[in-house]
Structure 1
Amino acid sequence: MVMWVFGYGSLIWKVGFNYDVRLVGFIKGYRRVFYQGSTDHRGTPENPGRTVTLEPADGEICHLEVREKQYDQKAYIDFFTDPTATTPVVTGVMVYIASADKKQNQNYLGPASIEDIAKQIVNAEGPSGPNRDYLFQLEKALLEFGCKDEHVINLANEVRRILSESEQLSN
């Protein structure tokens, strides 16, 4: 049986399972956003962290069961490696998505300003470590693939600014 999984968050740098082939590419019609709460890995129920999910977004592209348990939807999508291609390299690639439906997904945090999301990320830590490490690892991995995700970059820069400010105040 062949199964393809699209990783757009921590699966990019921390797979956690054996695989035969890894392709770098993207999906169309979605964008990566830090709207999903993490109360089991990068935060706690009292102080949730934020992790990425996908949201439909016309014209956008997004580059790359235990750890995904807080995501309430599974979708099967087309995967591309060439931005000009009209035919996908792989069809039926599985992806986990956190919906905005608070009845189905109690950890959905939703949109907020970059400043508010950054403050939450700076202050959150869970069993898998500080939430900021998740953000910085994602930023680094995406840049290594040549992917400049503006949401991730802007958020990482804001977190660095807050951390730098905090460090200056403590000196």
Structure 2
Amino acid sequence: MSADTIEHNRNRFDFSGVDSIWLFGYGSLIYKVDFPFLEKRPATIHGWQRRFWQASHDHRGTPEAPGRVVTLIAEPGATCMGMAYRVSPKVFEHLDVREKNGYLRFTTTMTFDNGSHAEGLVYIATESNDAFLGHAPDADIARQIKFAAGPSGPNAEYLLRLAESLRALGDDCPHTFAIESHLRSVTESDT
């Protein structure tokens, strides 16, 4: 599948008669909220884990030197904490462009802090997209992130802001924090 998923996402869901829908963010959507929302709440989804397995050719890297950003990988028993936003369907006109590099919208069940549940949408970059990189050792991912930059800024900024946001949510994401630790080690050894 092509990495450009704009049209595919626009044809995936019919929002006729829908006033608002929940959106689950687990990466930059936690801290870079450049869209209007009606409500915002911490939430968790089950059966998924956050991984830096997706290339960023358009935001945090270039086609010649892609960065790495997060996607979700199915994992029974896993949980992924993030932020849920209740939004107007019109928001997806912007978000489908922002998340175009291999991400597709899927339906998910979110659990809020008070134990209540809601159905919503989440962007996931699956293995079938051209920008999927897959697993690599944490230290290798950190090195790739250290040297990548794109129109949205340095890839390291993405990683550091995500780690900071996850800590603020009270989330323990060993994968993200291990890569952050490697990034800091690589940066210190270069000085």
Structure 1 residue runs of 4 or more that deviate by more than 4 Å after TM superposition: none
Aligned to 1:118: 142
Distance 2:113 2:34 in 1: 27
1:56 corresponds in structure 2 to: 74
- SS state at 1:158 partner: helix
2:18 aligned with 1:18 = no
Q: 1:43 touches 1:131 (CA, 8 Å); kept in 2? A: yes
What is the aligned-residue identity percentage?
40
- Shift in Å, 1:25: 1.3
Q: Distance in 1 between matches of 2:136 and 2:109?
A: 29
Q: Offset of 1:71 from its aligned partner?
A: 2.6
**Alignment partner, residue 28 of structure 1:** 46
| CA distance in 1: counterparts of 2:153 and 2:167, whole angstroms | 22
Give the match for residue 7 of structure 1. 25
Equivalent AA in structure 2 for residue 6 of structure 1: F
Of 131, 140, 163, the match for 2:155: 131
- For 2:8, the equivalent position in structure 1 comes to none
Match of 1:89 in 2: 117
Q: 1:35 & 1:137 partners in 2: Cα distance?
A: 17
Scaled by the length of structure 1, the TM-score of the pair is 0.90
Computed over aligned residues only, the root mean square deviation of the Cα atoms, in angstroms, reads: 1.2
Q: What is the total number of aligned residue pairs between the two structures?
A: 160
What residue identity is the alignment partner of 1:161? S
Structure 2, gaps ≥5 residues long: 1-18, 83-95
- In structure 1, give the amino acid aligned to 2:102: Y
Per-residue CA deviation, residues 110-140 of structure 1 (Å, 9 max, x unaligned), is 1100011011000100011100000000000
Q: 1:15 Cα deviation (Å)? A: 1.2
Question: In 2, distance between residues paired with 1:14 and 1:115?
Answer: 26
Residue 106 of structure 2, aligned match among 69, 75, 89 = 75
Name structure 1 gaps, 5 residues minimum. none
C-alpha separation between the residues in 2 aligned to 1:79 and 1:72? 19
**In 2, are the aligned partners of 1:71 and 1:96 still within 8 Å (CA)?**
no
Choose the corresponding residue for 2:97, options 60, 66, 69: 66
What letter is aligned with 2:122?
Answer: V
Q: What corresponds to 1:98 in structure 2?
A: 125
